[in-house]
Amino acid sequence: MTDWSQFTQDKPAPTQNIDWSQFRPLTEEEKKPKRTLAGTVKDVGITALKGAIGVPEAAVGLADLVSGGHVGKFLENEGGTVGFRPKEAKQFLDENYSDAQKAANANVAKEKGFLPTLGVMAQNPSTIATTIGESLPSMLAGGAVGRGLVGAAKLAPYLAG
């Protein structure tokens, strides 16, 4: 229990009337968390990490298609040594975005419908940047795999015989 007798008040509480007309409720814009340079740098780093996690995640997803899900189960290996859990890693990273990015993501997530969601994304452009940042590494890796397959297909006639 706190002993309040140890605290003193330097000045007595004002007894005059307060002019409440000078106060107003905060606007929605004033309530939004503000972006900072440090927060933005942190968000860019988190987005890059999430994008990097997406590359092996996509590869495992493709391997699961051919193996009936066995590759993913093997890599997940509950209680084992591999422990490949990209979904959990991305959730952890989501929790570490800046307050401003979390608010922007929440605004977009609560919107329903394609066009209304696009409108909210336009009002929260960082959500567009994070979506692109998370997708870009997988797209680049997919393009590299595609070019490799095209090259292999061109060599196939020479290898076959």
pLDDT at 19: 78
pLDDT at 107: 93
pLDDT at 17: 77
Total-model pTM: 0.72
Contact call for residues 107 and 124 (beta carbons, < 8 A): yes
Summarize pLDDT for 6-22 with one digit per residue, the tens.
665 566 566 567 777 78
Summarize pLDDT for 127-147 with one digit per residue, the tens.
999 999 999 999 999 888 888
The stretches in the chain having pLDDT less than 50 are none
